Amino acid sequence: MSEREVLISGAGVAGPALALALHRHGFRVTVVERAPAPRDGGYKVDIRGAAVEVLKRLGLFEAVLAADTAMRTVTYVRPDGRPVATLDAGLLMGRRGDDREIMRTDLTRILYAATAGAVEYVFGDSIAGLEERADGVAVTFAGGGTRRFDLVVAADGLHSATRRLAVGEVPLRHLGAYISIFDLAGDLGLDREEIFHVAPGRMVFAYSTGAGQPAKVGLVFASPELPRGVDGRQVLRERFAGSGWQVPSFLEHLDAVPDLYFDSLSQVELPRWSAGRVVLLGDAAYCPSPSSGQGTSLALVGAYVLAGELAKGDGHAAAFARYEAVLRPYVARNQELGRKMAGDMVPGGRLKVALIHHAMRTLRFNPWKRQIIEQVTRPVHLAATAIELPAYPMAAAVR
């Protein structure tokens, strides 16, 4: 059965990763992206466990290794800015083996470079309509015109517009918190260092991946679900009013931020990841929320599995069913992790804050700190490796 023309909506991580894997299997791929060019910005992301193996099989691991953030330390500070404790970043974040941390921008650039020239990219456009026919899907584009594809993949994120066209409105599972991330003009004097400040119901972090590199600031706060379209800047000013450390200066900077990221910690839970010839991938299908730290890994692994199953050539229905069967236990484990970590990100009261500070102060002197951290981060490692990757023969390089 020949179904080799594929349209992917979204040029973040999941879309280009799938485009690369499909191209290696001999498919003809088009990626449509609403943004006018490959997206810059974003924060650092983890690539762990099975996702590292996917990078190796796609021939991208060395490029990712070269772009590793090489973060050195994590420091917790009091409201007056005095340090509580400083610990090794790699140790505290529980990385094992070849686990990597990379700026999302660097990862998207690596994926784009690996596919440019082999995959058709259409920037500054989006899917406006889908009509399934006997011989494929007629896709109407917002910029005008209609094209036919054998299959369509929605890889356009948590609030996927393509998913809405395919399966309708999907309620998100709110995890009780919101997160905002943005750039500062300066580096805050940080060189591959990250600083955390926690308070009841709130967490603030800031880091720079090198001297002279713009600092990234993150604000996380506990909250019931807010109306869509709420003014994120105003909400942040209200929720973080009276905060210590450098938070007042961060809030003053908000109006100068052109592309503020502000969203809920939410998950996507669906009974099926496909409808006819349209299939969902990455956050559009099974977002585990930023609290899991596993969204990028799920996108990479999902792309690899979906491409491999489609390459078997026995029809999209069978391929989509196997894609779900292989991936669902892995997704479930990581979404469970995301729900747990969402509660841990924003301490519930002063006692919880005091316990965090006490743990950080005493941990650095504990001769068993490595074993303690490995035990604490064991659920992350188990979630990251909760899949046995199938072997899918593919071409060794893009031509």
Residue 138 has pLDDT above 50, yes or no: yes
The CATH class for the domain spanning 5-70+97-171+267-345+378-384 reads: alpha beta
Q: How many of the other CB atoms lie within 10 Å of CB of 115?
A: 24
| Mean pLDDT (whole number) for 148-169 | 97
> Would you place residue 395 in the very low, low, confident or very high pLDDT band (cuts 50, 70, 90)?
low
Which is more confident, 182 or 366? 182
CA atoms within 13 A on the CB side of 386: 21
Percentage of the chain exceeding pLDDT 70: 98
Residue 240 has pLDDT above 70, yes or no: yes
> Would you place residue 393 in the very low, low, confident or very high pLDDT band (cuts 50, 70, 90)?
confident
State how far the alpha carbon of 372 is from the alpha carbons of 196, 361, 376, in Å. Answer: 20, 14, 6
| Mean pLDDT (whole number) for 138-164 | 97
Q: Quick one: pLDDT at residue 397?
A: 54
Q: Quick one: pLDDT at residue 398?
A: 45
Residue 320 has pLDDT above 90, yes or no: yes
| Mean pLDDT (whole number) for 339-352 | 89
**Is 170:163 a contact under the CB 8 Å cutoff?**
yes
Q: Lowest-pLDDT range, 37-46, 138-147, 246-255, 335-344? A: 37-46
Residue type, 62: E
Cα–Cα distance between 245 and 203 in angstroms, integer? Answer: 12
Query: Is there a common fold for 5-70+97-171+267-345+378-384 and 174-265+347-376?
Result: no
> Would you place residue 223 in the very low, low, confident or very high pLDDT band (cuts 50, 70, 90)?
very high
Q: Quick one: pLDDT at residue 1?
A: 54
| Mean pLDDT (whole number) for 264-270 | 97
The dihedral over CA atoms of 56, 323, 115, 313, expressed in degrees to the nearest 10, equals: 110
Cα–Cα distance between 60 and 114 in angstroms, integer? Answer: 8
> Would you place residue 73 in the very low, low, confident or very high pLDDT band (cuts 50, 70, 90)?
very high
Q: Is 4 helix (H, G, I), strand (E, B) or coil?
A: coil
Cα–Cα distance between 284 and 297 in angstroms, integer? Answer: 14
Cα–Cα distance between 219 and 197 in angstroms, integer? Answer: 10
Does the domain made of 174-265+347-376 have the CATH classification 3.30.9.30?
yes
The H or E element containing residue 399 is none
Q: Which contacts qualify for 388-395: CB closer than 8 Å, 24 or more apart?
A: 389/50, 389/53, 389/54, 389/57, 389/301, 389/304, 389/305, 390/305, 390/308, 390/326, 392/25, 392/304, 392/307, 392/308, 392/311, 394/21, 394/24, 394/25, 394/57, 394/308, 394/311, 395/24, 395/25, 395/26
Which is more confident, 364 or 264? 264
Q: Quick one: pLDDT at residue 202?
A: 96
Cα–Cα distance between 3 and 197 in angstroms, integer? Answer: 52
| Mean pLDDT (whole number) for 309-322 | 96
Q: What share of residues in the chain are helix, strand, coil (percent, to 5)?
A: 35, 25, 40
Q: Which alpha helices (H) appear in 203-265, and where do they start and end?
A: 232-239, 247-252
Residue 41 has pLDDT above 90, yes or no: no
Average predicted confidence (pLDDT) for the chain: 94
Q: Quick one: pLDDT at residue 345?
A: 87
CA angle 47, 52, 57 (to 5 degrees): 140
Q: Quick one: pLDDT at residue 278?
A: 98
| Mean pLDDT (whole number) for 205-216 | 90
- Which tokens sit at 147? 């094209």
Q: Quick one: pLDDT at residue 396?
A: 60
Q: Quick one: pLDDT at residue 344?
A: 85
Q: How many of the other CB atoms lie within 10 Å of CB of 179?
A: 21
Domain range annotation of the chain? 5-70+97-171+267-345+378-384, 174-265+347-376
Name which of 174, 293, 256 is nearest 222 in CA terms: 174
> Would you place residue 95 in the very low, low, confident or very high pLDDT band (cuts 50, 70, 90)?
confident
| Mean pLDDT (whole number) for 101-130 | 96
Residue 67 has pLDDT above 70, yes or no: yes
**Is 397:118 a contact under the CB 8 Å cutoff?**
no
Cα–Cα distance between 40 and 296 in angstroms, integer? Answer: 16
Q: Quick one: pLDDT at residue 399?
A: 46
Q: Is 19 helix (H, G, I), strand (E, B) or coil?
A: helix
**Is 225:264 a contact under the CB 8 Å cutoff?**
yes
